[in-house]
């Protein structure tokens, strides 16, 4: 229930204790009911602040024993985002020193905590692996993060372990490699074959008007429009016949800018969305009907967009040495490519 006189962002809630609550500590009982938004320590603080009442009187002792039938009234503040903790999540480490760590991120791993993904992220894994050595410039929930990959995109990422390295790497990514000190290459399996073997997509990106979690090509004059350039080259073509009749192709994409979902949106914009892309490739789902049954089943079961960050090259922030890292295409995507190669 809400209270019109309540402070902004807070909510009154009434909770009645049943037989299972008999004899439990008040903080323990409330924390179980309010998890995961409120931890036990947070509930204890709320109680001590006088925000919990019984029969109109504030209860300020977290250890108080609960009796069945009691009805507590609690004023809940906006839940605080939890600080991430280290978790023993395996990492595929390509390189590590005192300044940075380079990993091959698997598909399905979220980079940093956020709504719906407060645990099980790359940040949780890094905290466990690196301890206190991670750079803090990115903030509590993004320590060391200077760039990111979508949850369902696999491939090479670099993370800063020292603050100076973080600043230098962040500047390089913000510059999008215009000085030649940053190189990023992805491979993507897309529907159809682009009409030219290589080309560039130059189209500004902004928020989609139909879904604010997605991006779209927008007019350059729109307030949120961001300059975006993707260079592509066709590596393989799949299916018989002329290029315009072939069913799919493997393309390499190189970024001149680094916008959210850039490759996915740009390839869809030129009529060649990524195979398996649930957000930008929905209009091409019927393409599966043109595939042999075994391959069609593989495509239908593929749980993500077929996109892999194959290459990342950058200048080491401490030594100045150019470093180059490559990650092989993961098994799930390799199997998919083998299926298309058999067309």
Residues annotated as catalytic (active site), given as ranges: 150
Handedness of CA 265, 269, 275, 276 (dihedral sign): positive
Q: How far is CA 123 from CA 26, 120, 149, in A?
A: 33, 8, 13
> Count of CB atoms within 10 A of residue 57's CB?
8
Q: What are phi and psi of 328, to 5 degrees?
A: -65, 150
Q: By the 8 A CB rule, do 304 and 330 touch?
A: no
HSE-CB of 25 using CA atoms within 13 angstroms: 12
Q: By the 8 A CB rule, do 340 and 247 touch?
A: yes
Q: By the 8 A CB rule, do 244 and 234 touch?
A: no
> Count of CB atoms within 10 A of residue 37's CB?
13
C-alpha span between 129 and 87 (Å, rounded): 8
C-alpha span between 99 and 318 (Å, rounded): 7
Task: Scan for tokens 């209860």, then name that residue.
Answer: 59
Q: By the 8 A CB rule, do 181 and 150 touch?
A: no
Encoded tokens for 280: 């930008």
In three-state form (DSSP H/G/I as H, E/B as E, the rest C), the secondary structure along 208-225 is CCCCCCCEEECCCCCCCC
C-alpha span between 111 and 60 (Å, rounded): 39
DSSP states along 82-101: PPP--------EEEE-SSEE
Q: By the 8 A CB rule, do 163 and 315 touch?
A: no
């Amino acid at each position: 229930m809400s209270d019109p006189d309540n402070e902004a962002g807070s909510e009154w809630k009434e909770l009645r204790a049943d037989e299972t609550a008999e004899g439990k500590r008040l903080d323990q009982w409330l924390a179980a009911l309010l998890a995961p938004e409120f931890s036990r320590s947070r509930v204890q603080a709320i109680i001590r602040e006088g925000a919990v009442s019984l029969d109109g009187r504030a209860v300020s002792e977290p250890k108080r024993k609960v009796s069945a039938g009691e009805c507590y009234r609690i004023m809940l503040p906006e839940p605080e985002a939890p600080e991430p903790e280290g978790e023993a999540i395996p990492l595929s480490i390509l390189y590590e020193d005192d300044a940075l760590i380079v990993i091959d991120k698997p598909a399905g791993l979220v980079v940093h905590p956020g709504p719906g993904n407060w645990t099980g992220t790359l940040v949780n894994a890094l905290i466990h692996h690196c301890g206190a050595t991670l750079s803090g410039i990115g903030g509590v929930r993004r320590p060391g993060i200077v760039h990111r990959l979508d949850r369902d995109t696999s491939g090479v990422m670099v993370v800063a372990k020292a603050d100076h390295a973080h600043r230098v790497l962040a500047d390089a990514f913000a510059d999008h490699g215009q000085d030649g000190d940053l190189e990023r290459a992805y491979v993507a399996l897309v529907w159809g074959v682009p009409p030219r073997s290589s080309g560039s997509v130059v189209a500004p990106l902004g928020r989609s008007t139909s879904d604010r979690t997605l991006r779209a090509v927008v007019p350059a004059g729109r307030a949120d429009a961001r300059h975006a350039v993707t260079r592509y080259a066709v590596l393989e073509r799949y299916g018989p016949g002329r290029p315009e009749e072939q069913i799919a192709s493997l393309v390499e994409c190189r970024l001149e800018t680094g916008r959210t979902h850039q490759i996915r949106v740009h390839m869809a914009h030129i009529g060649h969305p990524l195979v398996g892309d649930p957000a930008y490739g929905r209009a091409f789902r019927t393409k599966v009907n043109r595939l042999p049954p075994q391959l069609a089943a593989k495509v239908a079961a593929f749980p993500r967009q077929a996109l892999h960050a194959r290459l990342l090259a950058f200048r080491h922030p401490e030594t100045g040495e150019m470093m180059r890292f490559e990650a092989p295409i993961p098994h799930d995507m390799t199997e998919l490519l083998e299926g298309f190669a058999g067309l």
